[in-house]
Chain A
Amino acid sequence: MRPKAGNAGLYAALSCPTAHSREFASMSTPHAHAGDPPRDHPSHLGDMDIRVRALETLLTQKGYIDPAALDRIIETYETQVGPHNGARVVARAWSDPAYHDWLLKDATAAIASLGFSGRQGEHMVALENTPELHNMVVCTLCSCYPWPVLGLPPVWYKSAPYRAKAVLDPRGVLRDFGVTLPEATRLRVWDSTAEVRYLVLPMRPAGTSGLSEDQLATLVTRDSMIGTGLARQPEVTP
């Protein structure tokens, strides 16, 4: 039996199709069903809210999930795991030549040594940007992303425009982000099609030689670690 056999039939068995995306929400007309509570957003968003609540209740009653475990998962990605982790890795690599070399040779171990490991970061590879070569990471098939160092991906990373365009027109993608590279800089796009996850090591901004690792970390943006941005320039104090 193929795993997908009958999906369409199963899918058709479900009610409440909501064929609008959040992105289209502003274009849809709010409407209410009889008996629905008043809503201040388009109905399909309310439908998703109700649908997911009902699902959580059902799966809890079935004993398949522990609602407290859901809280812990959410809390992990809202408060502990995010791009500030990756910024620590980059700042350390900028500050410590031995760590820099370790990161490029065995990123999984070097990143784990700072306490960042696990789900969606089991096999890490670091990509160093130089004046000659700029790296950019995409997942054209879904949304593969290095969670332990960058957290959950932003909407644009998972969106059709980015997934479609990054491999065909990466320079155009950079323009969408307001980034222009020198013509001579080669562009390398890494499509994350397996379980390897990539972290871009952006170029260290000029004029930062006196900065501490903590100060350097504040210059490292999420986008600079995906390759759709550059590290921030330090603010010049007169």
Chain B
Amino acid sequence: MNGVHDMGGLQGFGPVQPEANEPLFHFEWERRALAITLAMGATGQWNIDLGRSARESLPPAVYLASSYYEIWIRALEVLMLQRGLVSPRELRSGQLLVPPAPVAYVLQAGNVAAALASGSPADRRASAPARFAPGDRVRAKNMHPVGHTRLPRYVRGHLGTVQAVRGCHLFADRHASQPLPPFDTTADWLYTVVFDGRELWGPQADAAVQVSVDAWEPYLEAAT
């Protein structure tokens, strides 16, 4: 989706403003927001790509005007509402009004360390050989899917070079295409594709800059 989350190359946001001695959280609710989001993710009712998709699909003005963990909470509420885990009245009131829906898994305290330490690797066994190899010239497709995608707009249509083959990974676009389990866990080859700054931004751009993205094979076509 061509959303406001796809920020690469936008102008007008002003300088980056690092905060000296920044605390890990600025408010107590941010601590809980992080943990609730991770714990609800563990229930298995959605996956990381559906989570990203929910954040990107917030109304654009809300996305831009919300702080980071506000975006997380708003998207979490949408994900839970979509799956009937909570009702709008429950969210408004904070009161349990409807019996709980069954969930696949509840993360207990004793399992947190192991869950965080193992993570969720995205690599999968390949079912076909990689189409591209390092050094190959490729073009990022000019595509504008309405669903979730991880190909930023600023590289679409541009010529780049495959720098590395990263293995076969769950393809985010398909992984986010089914709202409920079983998700589409088919994988595609993932490449690091590097673009010259001038290819992306024009002849006035800094010739000493290159930018890469990690792009799945369906995002790429051989350059002719």
Residues of A in contact with B (beta carbons under 8 Å apart) = 1-4, 6-8, 10-11, 13-24, 45, 48-49, 51-59, 61-66, 68-74, 76-78, 81-82, 117-123, 125, 138, 140-143, 151-152, 154-156, 158-168, 170-173, 176-177, 183-196, 223, 228
Contacts and interface: CB of A to CB of B under 8 A. Distances in A.
Contacts of B210: 186-189
Contacts of B22: 154-155
Given A3-B177, A10-B81, A156-B18, A122 B120 contact: yes
A73 B34 contact: yes
Given A21-B70, A52-B32, A13 B107 contact: no
**Residue of A59, A117, A192 ringed by the most chain B CB atoms within 10 A:** A59
A26 B36 CA distance: 27
Given A45-B27, A118-B116, A168-B9, A194 B19 contact: no
Contacts of A161: 13-17
A38 B33 CA distance: 23
B128 interface: no
B19 A195 contact: no
B208 A187 contact: yes
A56 B208 contact: no
A119 B116 CA distance: 5
B214 A164 contact: no
Contacts of A141: 5-8, 52, 56, 150, 152
A188 B10 CA distance: 19
A162 B17 CA distance: 9
Given A76-B116, A192-B214, A3 B5 contact: no
B162 interface: no
Interface string B68-92: 1010011011100110011010111
B100 interface: yes
B106 A63 contact: yes
Contacts, number: 325
Contacts of B167: 123
Given A176-B16, A189-B210, 12 more contacts: A4-B54, A7-B54, A16-B92, A19-B62, A69-B109, A118-B118, A125-B164, A152-B24, A154-B19, A168-B154, A187-B206, A191-B211
B138 to A, nearest CB: 15
A62 B100 contact: yes
Nearest to A45: B27
B8 A167 contact: yes
B35 to A, nearest CB: 4
14 contacts: A10-B78, A10-B82, A52-B32, A59-B86, A64-B106, A65-B106, A77-B24, A119-B116, A119-B119, A141-B52, A154-B19, A162-B16, A165-B13, A176-B15
Interface size class of B (residues with CB under 8 A): 35 or more
A56 B32 CA distance: 8
Nearest to A173: B16
Contacts of A192: 214
B59 A164 contact: no
B154 A167 contact: yes
A170 B115 CA distance: 36
Contacts of A166: 8
Contact of A117 (B66, B96, B119, B169): B119
Contacts of B208: 183-187
B62 A156 contact: no
